[in-house]
């Protein structure tokens, strides 16, 4: 397991606060309320360990395959439905949405190999990630990857806690399947918009892994 570079600053700030809070607790509280000093230590240590865990990148064997569409994020499948995309395609698409809790790995990966033909950041609201309108009204970053099978749109969507979406792709980039696309800090959601008729390989409420689980296969 490694730590994602997006977490270095947050973890360092957390470690500094951990040290300051516990030093103050030891010097000003421990003599009179030793139990409280111990409690503060346990709580702050737990928060720091959670912060480290949030930015973890576990060692995994990535799944690849020309006819496969790989899951871009860890989490739970919360939407499988046909929608009308107003942003890019302007027609019907099959939408699969993955909810990422704060406990999930938050690195996002490319579902397919191909060329980036669209990359756009949108300011927006911070509705809870499972809200039906979060896909179109929340802060988000949309990317379209094109290959010989067709176009796929991937949306990184901020949730009620997420306040920063990181995307490393630009128009013209040639990307590899299961390679890193970006990172979303704290609870969030990722939508994948596929051509109608695409064969879906997951079920509603299924727990999936980014870069590992086969989300769908090309028709």
188 is catalytic: yes
Tokens found for residue 138: 């929340």
Taking the C-alpha atoms of residue 94 and residue 196, their distance in angstroms, rounded to an integer, is 5
Residue 52 phi, psi (nearest 5): -65, -45
The HSE-up count of residue 89 (CA atoms within 13 Å, CB side) is 23
Q: Which of 97, 113, 178, 188 is catalytic?
A: 188
Residue 35 phi, psi (nearest 5): -65, -35
Q: What is the DSSP string of the chain?
A: -EE-GGGHHHHHHHHHHHHHHHHHHHHHTTTT-HHHHHHHHHHHHHHHHHHHHHTEE--------TTEEE--SSEEEEEEEEEE-TTTT-SEEEEEEEEE-TTS--EEE-SS-EEEEEEEEE--B---TTSTTHHHHB-EEEEEEEETTEEEEEEEEE-SS---EEE---TT-EE-TTSEEEEE-SSEEEEEEE-TTPEE---TT-EE-TTTSEEEE--
The residues carrying an active-site annotation are 188
């Amino acid at each position: 397991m490694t730590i994602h570079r997006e977490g270095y600053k947050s973890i360092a700030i957390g470690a500094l606060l951990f040290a300051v809070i516990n030093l103050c607790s030891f010097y000003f509280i421990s003599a009179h309320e030793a139990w409280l000093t111990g409690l503060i230590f346990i709580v702050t240590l737990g928060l720091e360990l959670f912060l480290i865990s949030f930015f973890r990148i576990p060692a995994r064997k990535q799944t690849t395959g020309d006819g496969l569409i790989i899951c871009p994020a860890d989490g739970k499948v919360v939407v499988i439905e046909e929608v009308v995309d107003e942003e890019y395609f302007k027609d019907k698409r099959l939408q699969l949405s993955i909810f990422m809790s704060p406990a999930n790995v938050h690195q996002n990966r490319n579902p397919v190999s191909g060329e980036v033909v669209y990359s756009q950041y949108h300011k927006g609201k911070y509705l809870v990630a499972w809200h039906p309108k979060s896909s179109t009204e929340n802060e988000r970053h949309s990317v379209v990857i094109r290959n010989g099978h067709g176009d796929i749109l991937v949306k990184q969507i901020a949730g009620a806690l997420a306040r920063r979406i990181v995307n490393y792709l630009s128009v013209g980039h040639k990307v590899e399947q299961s390679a890193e696309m970006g990172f979303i800090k704290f609870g969030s959601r990722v939508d994948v918009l596929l051509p109608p008729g695409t064969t879906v390989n997951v079920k509603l409420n299924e727990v999936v892994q980014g870069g590992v689980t086969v989300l769908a296969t090309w028709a």
